[in-house]
Structure 1
Amino acid sequence: MEAQAGGRPILVLPEETIRRRGKDAQRTNIDAARIVSNAIQSTLGPKGMDKMVVDSLGDVTISNDGATILDEMEIEHPAAKMICEVAETQDDEVGDGTTTAVVIGGELLKGAEDLLDQDIHPSSIVAGYRMAAEKSREILEEISKKISLDEDEKLKKVAMTSMSGKGAEVASDRLADLAIRAVKHVAEKIEGEYRADLDNVKIEKQEGASLNDSFLVEGIIIDKERVSPQMPTRVDDAKIALINAPIEVKETETDSEIQVTDPEQLKTFMDEEESMLREMVEKIKEAGANTVICQKGIDDLAQHFLAREGIFAIRRAKKSDMERLSRATGGRIVTGIEDLTSKDLGEAKTVEERKISGEEMTFIEECKEPKAVSILIRGGTEHVVDEAERSLNDAINAVKGAIENEKVVAGGGAPEIEVARRLREYSEAIGGREALAVNSFADAVESIARTLAENAGLDPIDTLVELRSKHEEEGENMGIDVFKGEVVDMFDRGVIEPTNVKIQAISSGDEAGEMILRIDDVIAATKEEEPEAGGPGAPGEMPPGGMGY
């Protein structure tokens, strides 16, 4: 990059710098973002197809979950990465609707490109998009219906809708039940509103058996075995000590050396060590514990003493598992064995070590009113189990969104068609160049219904015409039943989605689109080339010019 000053060129950036300005920069960014959007468009809806992504190490991921696909793809272009961030944000915020958000973002940019060709300034397009996004939120809130924690039948439909088209759909009935039970256990009423922290729902997966053999544990599953085979494999009426301290003799703070000159001295040291460990185990026994979950290590001798007392013990449990155990069993995590009392113990009906597909796992079950639970997913292969986990996560997040937000809308493209219809009416009231942007926004939102039809093998134009007509005549719940290829009331068909998923998808897609549109200059430094082996700059080689003095 250079500028002229008094006839002399002034270099501001290195000569190798790549720079694109104005429409050239905007088109490049829009094209890159749209390529990403188009790549996952065919995964949308119950009839969407799967993608196989093979990474540089040869690991294979098969999924139709937008966030998973984009996360596995190795994307270089900065504008394309912004669209990937849409899926990431959508997944973090509401856990579902990632493909919808990315498709809307891509379609908004496609519409913006047409407006730029008409010499409409990007600022006018961004202003119109912002107005349309705000109006869309209002429309979605207006057409929503109420739902409560007690409406199990509706919640099940919400969960099953989120799993439609996923690989685990064959067991969607079973998984939907598990999702509802899990969320209900961890949901708490705070200031009159339900809140569900999904960190308290632990999902474990193990190959073998079928998806329908997946089950929920009213407690915690720990992917560890007991520390000694002499310990019992099962404990009934478990009293659980949660200890965040080593059951070992503490090492000295400073490095020290003790010279032993007499065998009696060595015996004294060993006896003292044994005595300290025995005291620790005695303290645990006195507190009334018959199960120990330790976040740190357990000495071999301590394991022997614990086994002799019939105490079941696990060592090096994860911090997250300890916290979930505390919420599930009602126990308190203690940081010193000397502080342990009977009041700190958690309770569970059973603690049992079981072998699942050759792996030892510990089940802490039937806790009283647990505020943390576990789900074990089974499946025939690794890919089946992985996809089931993603589907179950979507279902759990959908149920959480419905319970917390207490609002749902019909699925099958119904809310998108209604939003688009009302946005076009809204654009007439605005007028000016922003009205063109609002209409473009309506087309982008409506593209969700069009994509659903395309992916189901239906004629998208005929379907859109019929949808618009039915919305005028029969109301906002008319959507596409992709299995029967007809436009029907989606609430009657049991296709229901949480309102917050739709609102977040439109917001995320809009914000990414706006950000990309506002860029009119791309300044990119060239990457430094790796030095060739044995060439100048290679490891161990002297640079040209000797020592450089």
Structure 2
Amino acid sequence: MNQNQPIFILPEGTQRTMGKDAQRNNIMAAKIVAETVRTTLGPKGMDKMIVDSLGDVTITNDGVTILDEMQIEHPAAKMIVEVAKTQEDEVGDGTTTAVVLAGELLKNAENLLEQNVHPTIITRGYRLAAQKAQEILNNIAENISDENEDVLKQIAITAMTGKGAEAAKEKLAELAVTAVKQIADEHAIDTENIKIEKKVGNGISDSELIQGVVLDKEAVHSSMPKKIKDAKIVLIDSAIEIKSPETDTKVQISDPTQLQNFIEQEEKILKGMVDKIINSGANVVFCQKGIDDIAQHYLAKSKIYAARRIKKSDMDKLARATGAAVVTNLEDLNSEDLGNAGVVEEQKVGDEEMTYVKECKNPKSVTLLIRGGTEHVVDETERAMKDAIGDIAASLKSGKVVAGAGSPEVEVAKELRKFATSLSGREQLAVLSFAEAIEVIPRTLSENAGLDPIDMLTETKVQHDSGNKWAGIDVFSGKVVDAWQAGVIEPLKIKVQAIKSASEVTELILRIDDVIAGGEGSGKGGGMPPMPPGGCGMPPGMGM
């Protein structure tokens, strides 16, 4: 029997990478993703222009938007994209920080792998370092409450610096703080209750906060009043129309008078529906479904403002803003179900009519109307506002903030190096690598601002060693300053979440030593694709 006969254990077309090659390929893919967004970090970060297959253009320096639009295919690189998405969902900001940190952790791990340090020792060291880093951050963080309005404003300005909205950051920061404080409940802040409506036209500084809700809808009938003061609002989530029978129905009519009676009966039913709305005392109707033409006529005749096909999410926001209850059955409608607003009016914004529900008393849902010269400007301003709102909400939820400008990273790295000396064994090397990796943030801030990273980092470390924990890099003056005094403030949650996500995904990628990728022709007898160089084939004696 021939001893050299290949043994088939995988379908044809499958590619397999093993051992150090697998680790090297995964680390390389992750590093490329990190390098892609690295130049966008900080106030002097650059923007990326992404053109999709349909020719739609996105211009942004928002990490998660860039990675999302790039449609990355590599499995390890996709894991890095997940880090950005988690950061976005949890905090709403700091996505670039998380991705750059993950890339740097993997880069330093690669150096340790080349020194024959086992991956499990590196992952254990990284886990210890991540826990210690979170502990250090909690210790150095400053407390904050919703009374510290100036600090909250600084947080919003820090989030918007370096983004397209920077020109009007003072005004936008004020709007963001007011909006978050308005919707905050005792223990919860749901940023979903801040509706962001975009309209191209005017400039960014013309953006406004409406104490209520703005709907991209107009009155259903031209005879309806365009403005109603002291509005009594009814929210209906069923159609103001004749209901069709559930089953197929046939109506036989033998003479024309019966047809007339049939039409009159329909009108009577619709009139009855409208009368119930009128009797409740409502003068504004928002309907989630359709409104029949005849019902529209009767509503307009009674000088009632009505809009139809309102999104469910907008209905919920209207309920929170006006205090109205959403009514399903008009039979049950009474004056207690109505909500109140100072003014409901139809306004022309750009070339579209919009309905403003404003001057609500203590609304728990508000609207930010974002304006800007072009669609790209409006989109980027919206992303900046979402970051600012997310940061303010995260700060108030945890009640803790840190200074920015790379100062917390340098402080954490300093403390981690001290912590490393308390460890025996090779984990010490991994903790030192982690400390070095976390300094990638101040280093990148310096590089993106055209400063010398070695000089800036050395000077910052000297300040930290002399006890100034908030010494950070002022990228505009090129000097080391007290970041807290300079008003560069960020929520603690951004830093903690970035370290958690980056270290966890790094540990996951480092533990992979075998990648088996099914080819397109797997299991269908397709031809074997050519193997890429670098040992991506099967080991000897394991042909496919």
Report the TM range for the smaller structure's normalisation: over 0.9
In the TM superposition, residue 15 of structure 1 has moved relative to its aligned partner by: 2.5
**Equivalent residue for 1:424?**
417
Give 3-state SS (helix, strand or coil) of 1:189's partner: coil
Q: Distance in 2 between matches of 1:170 and 1:96?
A: 19
Give 3-state SS (helix, strand or coil) of 1:429's partner: coil
Give 3-state SS (helix, strand or coil) of 1:111's partner: helix
Q: Distance in 1 between matches of 2:521 and 2:69?
A: 25
Give 3-state SS (helix, strand or coil) of 1:119's partner: coil
**Equivalent residue for 2:201?**
208
In the TM superposition, residue 511 of structure 1 has moved relative to its aligned partner by: 1.1
Q: Distance in 1 between matches of 2:467 and 2:412?
A: 15
**Contact map agreement 2:235 2:326 (CA 8 A) in 1:** yes
In the TM superposition, residue 5 of structure 1 has moved relative to its aligned partner by: 11
Does structure 1 residue 494 correspond to structure 2 residue 487?
A: yes
In the TM superposition, residue 219 of structure 1 has moved relative to its aligned partner by: 0.3
**Equivalent residue for 2:152?**
155
In the TM superposition, residue 257 of structure 1 has moved relative to its aligned partner by: 0.8
**Equivalent residue for 2:56?**
59
In the TM superposition, residue 207 of structure 1 has moved relative to its aligned partner by: 0.6
In the TM superposition, residue 404 of structure 1 has moved relative to its aligned partner by: 0.8
Match of 2:73 among 57, 73, 76: 76
**Equivalent residue for 2:531?**
none
In the TM superposition, residue 431 of structure 1 has moved relative to its aligned partner by: 2.3
In the TM superposition, residue 246 of structure 1 has moved relative to its aligned partner by: 0.4
Superposed, 1:58-207 pairs within 5 Å as 58-190=55-187, 195-207=188-200
**Contact map agreement 2:214 2:354 (CA 8 A) in 1:** yes
**Contact map agreement 2:271 2:295 (CA 8 A) in 1:** yes
Letter in 2 for 1:362: T
Does structure 1 residue 38 correspond to structure 2 residue 35?
A: yes
Give 3-state SS (helix, strand or coil) of 1:388's partner: helix
In the TM superposition, residue 6 of structure 1 has moved relative to its aligned partner by: 7.7
1:347-402 CA distance string (max 9 Å, x none) = 00000000000111000001011000000000000110000000000000011011
Match of 1:270 among 256, 263, 270: 263
In the TM superposition, residue 9 of structure 1 has moved relative to its aligned partner by: 4.2
- Of residues 10-19 and 385-394 in structure 1, the stretch that sits farther from structure 2 once superposed is 10-19
Give 3-state SS (helix, strand or coil) of 1:430's partner: coil
Give 3-state SS (helix, strand or coil) of 1:480's partner: strand
Q: Distance in 1 between matches of 2:54 and 2:521?
A: 24
Does structure 1 residue 448 correspond to structure 2 residue 441?
A: yes
Q: Distance in 2 between matches of 1:455 and 1:474?
A: 27
Match of 2:216 among 207, 223, 237: 223
Q: Distance in 2 between matches of 1:169 and 1:339?
A: 50
Letter in 1 for 2:371: R
**Contact map agreement 2:341 2:357 (CA 8 A) in 1:** yes
Q: Distance in 2 between matches of 1:406 and 1:198?
A: 16
Q: Distance in 2 between matches of 1:60 and 1:386?
A: 11
Superposed, 1:126-525 pairs within 5 Å as 126-190=123-187, 195-525=188-518
**Contact map agreement 2:215 2:355 (CA 8 A) in 1:** yes
**Contact map agreement 2:15 2:516 (CA 8 A) in 1:** yes
Q: Distance in 2 between matches of 1:6 and 1:454?
A: 59
**Equivalent residue for 2:530?**
none
TM-score w.r.t. the length of structure 1 is 0.94
1:250-301 CA distance string (max 9 Å, x none) = 1111101112121101011101000000000000000010000000110000
TM superposition outliers: structure 1 runs of 4+ over 3 Å: 4-10
Give 3-state SS (helix, strand or coil) of 1:202's partner: strand
Q: Distance in 2 between matches of 1:285 and 1:6?
A: 92
**Contact map agreement 2:12 2:521 (CA 8 A) in 1:** no
**Equivalent residue for 1:541?**
none
Letter in 2 for 1:366: E
Q: Distance in 1 between matches of 2:6 and 2:71?
A: 39
Q: State the percentage of identical aligned residues.
A: 57
Q: Distance in 2 between matches of 1:251 and 1:458?
A: 71
In the TM superposition, residue 528 of structure 1 has moved relative to its aligned partner by: 4.3
**Equivalent residue for 2:537?**
none
Structure with more relative contact order (C-alpha pairs < 8 Å, separation 6 or more):
2
**Contact map agreement 2:287 2:308 (CA 8 A) in 1:** yes
Give 3-state SS (helix, strand or coil) of 1:251's partner: coil
Give RMSD over aligned pairs. 1.3
In the TM superposition, residue 122 of structure 1 has moved relative to its aligned partner by: 0.4
Match of 2:11 among 7, 11, 14: 14
**Contact map agreement 2:101 2:499 (CA 8 A) in 1:** yes
**Contact map agreement 2:98 2:499 (CA 8 A) in 1:** yes
Q: Distance in 2 between matches of 1:100 and 1:65?
A: 11
Q: Distance in 2 between matches of 1:128 and 1:287?
A: 68
In the TM superposition, residue 14 of structure 1 has moved relative to its aligned partner by: 1.1
Letter in 1 for 2:418: E
Q: Distance in 2 between matches of 1:120 and 1:151?
A: 48
1:432-486 CA distance string (max 9 Å, x none) = 1111011111111111000000001110011111111110014210000110000
Give 3-state SS (helix, strand or coil) of 2:439's partner: helix
Letter in 2 for 1:155: L
Q: Distance in 1 between matches of 2:339 and 2:503?
A: 48
TM-score w.r.t. the length of structure 2 is 0.95
Give 3-state SS (helix, strand or coil) of 1:408's partner: strand
In the TM superposition, residue 223 of structure 1 has moved relative to its aligned partner by: 0.4
Q: Distance in 2 between matches of 1:376 and 1:435?
A: 52
Give 3-state SS (helix, strand or coil) of 2:185's partner: strand
1:22-41 CA distance string (max 9 Å, x none) = 10000000000100000110
Gaps of 5+ in 1: 532-549
**Contact map agreement 2:240 2:292 (CA 8 A) in 1:** yes
Q: Distance in 1 between matches of 2:122 and 2:352?
A: 57
Q: Distance in 2 between matches of 1:337 and 1:8?
A: 80
Q: Distance in 1 between matches of 2:71 and 2:398?
A: 35
Letter in 1 for 2:99: V
Aligned pair count reads: 523
**Contact map agreement 2:26 2:77 (CA 8 A) in 1:** yes
Q: Distance in 2 between matches of 1:367 and 1:165?
A: 34
Q: Distance in 2 between matches of 1:15 and 1:321?
A: 53
